């Protein structure tokens, strides 16, 4: 889950605006002795300048308060998430399911704001069932269940006997099952990767390639650290050096420089995670070499940025700033998992592809 930073990164244009608001009054002219030391009316500070300065200071204070709230929330979330990943089992499953249901409920709130009437009971029920199926089965079973949800939604819409919003209701509810339930189910598949991969490859081969029961812990931590690190790096790099807007119509505060800074930060943090595991838990991280870890980190950062932009697009369409207010300084749950939602399945299928090419 995204940690300190929200996806949008500030551009330097905001800093320029702040600077202009704090501009000092014109200095006393050199020939002021001719006027008795008095400043001419045109040189005196205006009421507008003072108002701009006050507004700039208020914006600065709001940003500081927002950052402190994010740091406080992150200080609670990060240890809890790491501990939950280490625990695994049914407790881990329950946490993933809880996060998924909260995020899916927030998504249905977005489409409801656009006039759709999502069938929440069926959507949330199948969202939870897909995550459960990923734990007790594999991605094939989860995908079949997700497909079955479409049939149930069609029947439910027929029973509602409402025509005008039928398309929005069915498609919006189903997209919630896919976008949140199906994508976040890969947090379960990735955590038990050596078991999930056995549905595709010989378990003996996986052992030969250094996959172990602890590999899933490394893969989850590595993925989240990389994606969240990219998000945080993009935020601060964008504030410091942002000039060119990345997607002005979708998220005006994101910059190209911020995205590049995020990719570098995420890559370095991903490699740092690999180093820590190589030192303390080498068996868990032995499955992927350093070169592969670097390549995966780059891909995860790019995918994470795309996930962030997609959620920004949905929020802009719904004309809301955040999907919720559950997490102080961070908005809603969906706001925090927008990048991992795409990063987790990407990592899972990258690993399956890596094994395939290792055996080809």
- Please report the DSSP string for 23-35 in residue order: PPPPPPPTTGGGG
pLDDT in tens, 190-237: 999 999 999 999 999 999 999 999 999 999 999 999 999 999 999 999
Q: Does 215 fall in a domain?
A: yes
> Of 142, 159, 186, at which residue does a domain stop?
186
Residue 317 has pLDDT above 70, yes or no: yes
Answer yes or no: do 19 and 153 share one domain.
no
Q: What angle do CA 329, 127, 326 make, to 5 degrees?
A: 15
Total tally of structural domains belonging to the chain: 2
Answer yes or no: do 310 and 207 share one domain.
yes
Residue 4 binned pLDDT confidence (cut-offs 50, 70, 90):
very low
Residue 3 has pLDDT above 80, yes or no: no
Q: Does 328 fall in a domain?
A: yes
pLDDT in tens, 106-148: 999 999 988 888 999 999 999 999 999 999 999 999 999 999 9
Does the reported pTM lie above 0.85?
A: no
Answer yes or no: do 272 and 358 share one domain.
yes
What does the alpha-carbon distance between residue 111 and residue 318 come to, in Å, rounded to a whole number? 7
Helix residue ranges per DSSP H, 192-255: 193-196, 203-208, 215-241
The mean pLDDT of 151-167, rounded to a whole number, is: 86
Residue 69 binned pLDDT confidence (cut-offs 50, 70, 90):
confident
Q: Does 333 fall in a domain?
A: yes
Q: Does 31 fall in a domain?
A: no
Answer yes or no: do 247 and 121 share one domain.
no
Answer yes or no: do 283 and 354 share one domain.
yes
Give the C-alpha distances (Å, rounded to integers) separating 325 from 26, 58, 168, 194, 238. 44, 22, 25, 37, 24
Q: What is the pLDDT of residue 36?
A: 40
Answer yes or no: do 10 and 109 share one domain.
no
Give the C-alpha distances (Å, rounded to integers) separating 175 from 122, 245, 337. 12, 29, 16
Q: What is the pLDDT of residue 106?
A: 96
3-state secondary structure of 11: coil
Give the C-alpha distances (Å, rounded to integers) separating 344 from 25, 147, 319. 53, 20, 27
> Of 159, 186, 213, at which residue does a domain stop?
186
Q: Does 213 fall in a domain?
A: yes
Q: What is the pLDDT of residue 217?
A: 98
Q: What is the pLDDT of residue 35?
A: 43
Answer yes or no: do 167 and 247 share one domain.
no
Instruction: Print the domain residue range for 303.
Output: 1-23+42-87+192-360
Answer yes or no: do 128 and 205 share one domain.
no
Closest C-alpha among 221, 215, 224 to residue 194:
215
Give the C-alpha distances (Å, rounded to integers) separating 58 from 18, 51, 65, 130, 271. 10, 10, 10, 46, 39
Answer yes or no: do 167 and 286 share one domain.
no
Residue 298 has pLDDT above 60, yes or no: yes
Residue 25 has pLDDT above 90, yes or no: no
What does the alpha-carbon distance between residue 173 and residue 107 come to, in Å, rounded to a whole number? 9
Q: Judging by beta carbons within 10 Å of its beta carbon (0-12, 13-18, 19+), is residue 112 exposed, middle or buried?
A: middle
Answer yes or no: do 350 and 203 share one domain.
yes
Answer yes or no: do 118 and 229 share one domain.
no
347 phi, psi to nearest 5 deg: -65, -40
CA torsion 106-108-111-115 (nearest 10°) is -120
Answer yes or no: do 137 and 182 share one domain.
yes
């Amino acid at each position: 889950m995204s940690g300190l930073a929200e996806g949008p990164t500030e551009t330097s244009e905001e800093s320029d605006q702040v600077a202009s608001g704090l501009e000092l009054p014109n200095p006393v002219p050199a020939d002021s002795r001719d006027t008795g030391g008095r400043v001419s009316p045109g040189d005196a500070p205006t009421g507008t300048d003072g108002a701009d300065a006050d507004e700039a200071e208020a914006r600065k204070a709001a940003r500081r308060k927002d950052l402190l709230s994010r740091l406080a929330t992150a200080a609670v979330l990060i240890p809890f998430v790491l501990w939950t990943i280490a625990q695994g089992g049914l407790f881990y499953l329950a946490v993933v399911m809880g996060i998924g249901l909260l995020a899916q409920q927030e998504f249905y709130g977005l489409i409801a704001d656009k006039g759709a009437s999502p069938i929440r009971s069926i959507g949330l029920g199948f969202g939870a069932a897909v995550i459960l199926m990923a734990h007790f089965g594999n991605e094939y079973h989860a995908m079949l269940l997700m497909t079955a949800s479409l049939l149930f939604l069609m029947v439910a819409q027929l029973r509602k006997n409402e025509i005008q919003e039928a398309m929005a209701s069915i498609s919006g509810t189903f997209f919630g099952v896919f976008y949140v339930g199906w994508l976040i189910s890969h947090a379960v598949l990735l955590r038990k990767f050596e078991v999930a991969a056995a549905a595709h490859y010989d378990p003996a081969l996986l052992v030969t390639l250094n996959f172990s029961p602890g590999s899933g812990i490394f893969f989850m931590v590595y993925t989240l650290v990389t994606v969240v690190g990219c998000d945080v790096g993009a935020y601060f790099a964008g504030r410091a050096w942002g000039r060119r807007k990345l997607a002005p119509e979708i998220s005006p505060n994101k910059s190209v420089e911020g995205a590049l800074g995020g990719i570098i930060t995420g890559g370095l943090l991903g490699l740092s995670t690999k180093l820590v595991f190589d030192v303390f838990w080498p068996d868990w991280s032995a499955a992927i070499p350093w070169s592969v870890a670097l390549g995966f980190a780059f891909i995860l950062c790019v995918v994470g940025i795309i996930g962030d932009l997609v959620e920004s697009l949905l929020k802009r369409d719904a004309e809301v700033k955040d999907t919720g207010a559950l997490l102080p300084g961070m908005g809603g749950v969906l706001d925090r998992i927008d990048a991992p939602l795409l990063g987790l399945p990407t990592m899972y299928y990258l690993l399956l592809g890596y094994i395939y090419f290792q055996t080809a």
